[in-house]
Amino acid sequence: MRILAAGDHFVRPGLLRAALLEELGDAQEVTELTLPWPHEPFGPVGDVQEASGTEDEVIRALDGAVICVTQMAPFTERVFASCPALRLVAVSRGGPVNVDLPAATRHGVAVSFAPGRNAPAAAEFAIGLMLTAMRRITTADAELKRGKWRGDFYAYDEAGIELDGATVGLVGYGAIGRIVARVLRAFGARVLVCDPYADPAAARADDVEPVALDELLRRSSVVSLHARLTPETRHLIDSEKLALLPHGAVLVNSARGGLLDYGPLPEMLSSGRIGALAVDVYDVEPPPADWPLHRAPNVVTAPHLAGATRQTAHRAAAITAAEAGRFVRGEKLAHPANPEVQEGPRS
């Protein structure tokens, strides 16, 4: 059986290949394709979003392949129509956003994904952003490197706030949110969570308090976003919701740029209505040079790095290889995106 390991410069083809060989042995024919991400930004390709590479190069590389394991390869209607042997696409991401799922289903191709692959990395990064924004770490670092000693940050009006005793609201309580909550509790924070899909009893057992979104925003001095981006959650935190935050609240978004309406934030930061903002994701990536928040005070930015650890890459490869193994053995996939497609290799 021919398998394509369509990696990139993060989840490398060699990692995918090694994981496949460990899972399946060397009886399968594994070929490799290297896509340009992250040296080139991902973006729309054909009819899918957040993909890397071109349809043509993927079609050429897939010639005769039954399985493809990948992170970023574009799987469009055209790719599926051009690759009749293909039966499984195992995507090593938290969601198969680079796959046209209706097209995959029409062409009888099973699709899987890799939930939780970057949960530890993303949770750690969210905590890092939170602390950096609350304690002005990057601002103090930049000022000192320019030769300015910011002793005035010790003045009461300029001093930061602690997590110990703070109320922190988490919008989204999936794999990442649960790790963030555990770390916050270790710091001594009170944790509120809002997630319509989370079991309230299980949340309470985790020593967090499930509440409605408006209550969470009103009560939290720090808010961190961890929800998925869907049509329902786009601009979930808009100007109306931002107005509910306590004066000087800290806002963190390391989930998806579309969850947050960035438009009102420059003015809210300049007035002190929002005390600090830390973001790793944007409505347009990368943000343009004239993005208003580049000039706003108390803003911490990072270039979508929350999941960027070597462990994430290894977990991603292992999860997709395990799905390929289940498929080859005719077992049910652990993380199917279109379970209506018959699983297992076809004769």
What pLDDT was estimated at residue 27? 79
Q: To 10 degrees, what angle do helices 119-135 and 310-328 make?
A: 160
Residue 6 reports pLDDT greater than 70: yes
What pLDDT was estimated at residue 75? 98
Query: Dihedrals φ, ψ of 193, to 5°?
Result: -135, 145
Residues 92 and 99: their CA atoms lie apart, in Å, by: 12
| Identical fold, 2-117+309-328 and 119-301 | yes
pLDDT in tens, 190-241: 999 999 999 999 999 999 999 999 999 999 999 999 998 889 999 999 999 9
Residues 170 and 224: their CA atoms lie apart, in Å, by: 5
Residues 86 and 62: their CA atoms lie apart, in Å, by: 8
Residue 19 reports pLDDT greater than 90: yes
What pLDDT was estimated at residue 132? 97
What ranges do the domains of the chain cover?
2-117+309-328, 119-301
Topology of domain 119-301 in CATH is Rossmann fold (3.40.50)
CATH for 2-117+309-328? Answer: 3.40.50.720
Residue 105 reports pLDDT greater than 80: yes
Spatial neighbors of 214 by CB under 8 A, at least 6 apart, are 241, 244
Extract the runs of DSSP E, i.e. beta strands, from the chain.
Answer: 2-7, 29-34, 43-45, 48-51, 67-70, 88-91, 110-112, 167-171, 190-194, 209-210, 222-225, 249-253, 274-279, 299-301
What SS3 class is residue 45? strand
List, by residue number, the catalytic residues: 256, 285, 304
pLDDT in tens, 29-68: 999 999 999 999 899 999 998 999 999 999 999 999 999 9
Question: Mean of the pLDDT values across residues 70-95?
Answer: 97
Beta bridge partners of 31: 4
Q: Mean pLDDT of all residues in the chain?
A: 95
Asked if 316 contacts 117 with a C-beta cutoff of 8 angstroms, the reply is: yes
pLDDT in tens, 138-189: 999 999 999 999 999 999 988 999 999 999 999 999 999 999 999 999 999 9
What pLDDT was estimated at residue 343? 55
What pLDDT was estimated at residue 347? 43
Give the rounded distance of the alpha carbon of 254 from its chain centre: 7
